Structures are given as C-alpha cells and as structure tokens.
Copies of this chain bind each other. A is one copy, B any other.
Amino acid sequence: MRLMIARSVNLMNIPNEEHMRTVASAADVTELDATQTLTDAAYYRIREMILDGSLPIGTSVSVVALAGKFGMSRSPVRSAIERLMSERLLSRTTSGAAVAAPDRLDLLDALAVRAPLEGLAARLAAPHIDEHALDDLSAIHERFDRAMRDENQTAARRADLEFHQYIQNLSGNECLTDTLERVQTQVVLAAYSTAWTTSKRQAVLEHARILDALREQDGETAQAAAERHLANLTNRVLDEWKRHESRSPRGR
C-alpha cells in the first residue's frame, strides 16, 4: 500500500491532485506524509536534490554528511542511497556513492527506450479518455504553452512532465507507469548531465497532436504521434550536439 502511494508520486514532486483523482483517492495523498518512514523521507529529499540540481552531477554523497544534514541516523539515509543507486540516480564510486553522470549515449539509450513506451501509453490511454481527463490534459497543455511563451523554462519542463505522466496514468497499466517513471527519471538526469537545453517550442505542437488524437479516442494515431514526438526530441538532441560541436564531446 505504502509502496503504491510512493510509486504514484511523480517525478518532480508536483502537487498532483488532478492525477490522483483518476488513479487514487485523495485520502492517499494526505496519508502520504503520515505513513512515510524516515527512509522514504530521505529518499525523496535526496532525489529532489539531485533532480533540481542542488546536488550537481558527479557530486559524491556521503551517508554521514546527509544523515547530519537531515537530522537522522545513518540507517535510513543508507537505505535511501541504496534505493537511488538501484534506480541509477546514484552510481557507485570506489568508496561511496556519487550523483550519476550519464553521458550522451546514456541519454540516447534512455530516449530510445522511452519512445515505444510513450507510444504504448498513448495508445492504451485513448480508450480511457473522458471529458474530465480531456479538461485536465488541456489545462496542462495550456500551461505548457504559456510557460513557453513566457520563456519560463522551469514551468515549461514541469508541464511537459505532467503531460506525459497524465497520459501514462491514464493508460491504466501499472507496470508501464513504473517502467516509464524510471526511464524518465534517467532522461531528466541525463539531460542535466549532458547540459541539454533544447527548446521546447516544437514539443508544444507535438503535444497538441497527441492531444488531438486522444480527443478522438484514436489510439493508433496517438501512439504514432507520441512516438514521433520522442523521435523528434531525439533528433533535436542530436542537432544541438552537432551545433555545439565546439565543446568537448562526452561520448563514452
């Protein structure tokens, strides 16, 4: 039970009442903090520190230091670090752990895995679309669009993630949701690590096409649109690297 709740917390710890309405009761959300163990707390704190950049790539993390910082003993911190290592957010160093530094190949690999899974999610989500879900998705899409016009990168990325996660949750396939969350986390970290700062202007249009297909409950088209979105995303990464060839490449 607790595990399921933890699982449904999304990548950036975005308040996700809207998501919850479709997949879980609101009671679970409030229950979250109540039943959380110290290990969970440490896990989410470290994870957030990694994903929001306050623990930069390659930084070595020590159990004792974090335990002191969090005001808890080493045990829960140690458990949290082990969990993050199994998720590839932290990597083993000669002694201890460090924030993983995925290279360009890792990013491409993760995107290659994400593509068919996002397609599957879109296809499975199509028959589950209802008016309420469409409203939510449209609102998220609108936020994404506005954030792009305001050039608010943080809000844009958040809305981008929310859009995909909403569709994933709609798919109703828990295994898919789990798997995609893991891969997506790696993409986010790899984007940091490779200093990938792609413009998301095109992404807005591509999201719109996915949304259109979902509105028609056309699973095949939604799948194709999602896969094309990921393919274009990958191409934009490659283009950007080609343009910035001046910097030293980080290939394996």
**Chain A interface (Cβ < 8 Å from any Cβ of B):** 1-3, 79, 82-83, 85-88, 91-92, 106, 109-110, 112-113, 116-117, 119-120, 124, 173-176, 178-179, 182-183, 186
Contacts of A174 in B (CB 8 A): 106, 109
- CB proximity of A169 to chain B, nearest CB, Å: 13
- Bound together, the chains give a CA A55 to CA B110 distance in angstroms of 34
Question: Using Cβ atoms and an 8 Å threshold, which residues of chain B touch A112?
Answer: 120, 124, 173, 175-176
Q: In the bound complex, how far is the Cα of B124 from the Cα of A176, in angstroms?
A: 21
A179 touches B176 (CB 8 A): no
Could you tell me if B179 and A183 are in contact, using CB atoms closer than 8 angstroms? yes
Residues of B within 8 A of A79 (CB): 79, 82
Interface pair A116/B120, CB less than 8 Å apart: yes
Closest B residue, CB atoms, query A176: B113
A109 contacts which of B82, B119, B173 (Cβ < 8 Å)?
A: B173
Instruction: Check if B85 sits within 8 Å of A86, measured CB to CB.
Output: no
Partner of A113, one of B91, B117, B186: B117
A252 to chain B, nearest CB (A): 10
Given contacts A109-B173, A112-B120, 8 further A-B contacts (CB under 8 A): A3-B85, A3-B92, A79-B82, A82-B83, A110-B175, A113-B117, A113-B173, A116-B117
Known: A83-B82, A113-B117. A92 touches B1 (CB 8 A): yes
Shortest beta-carbon distance, A209 to chain B, in Å? Answer: 20
In the bound assembly, the distance between CA atoms of A1 and B97 in angstroms comes to 11
Contact status B92-A2, CB under 8 Å? yes
23 contacts between A and B (CB under 8 A): A1-B92, A3-B86, A3-B92, A79-B79, A82-B82, A82-B83, A86-B86, A88-B178, A106-B174, A106-B175, A109-B173, A109-B174, A109-B175, A109-B176, A110-B175, A112-B120, A112-B173, A113-B120, A113-B175, A113-B179, A116-B117, A116-B120, A117-B117
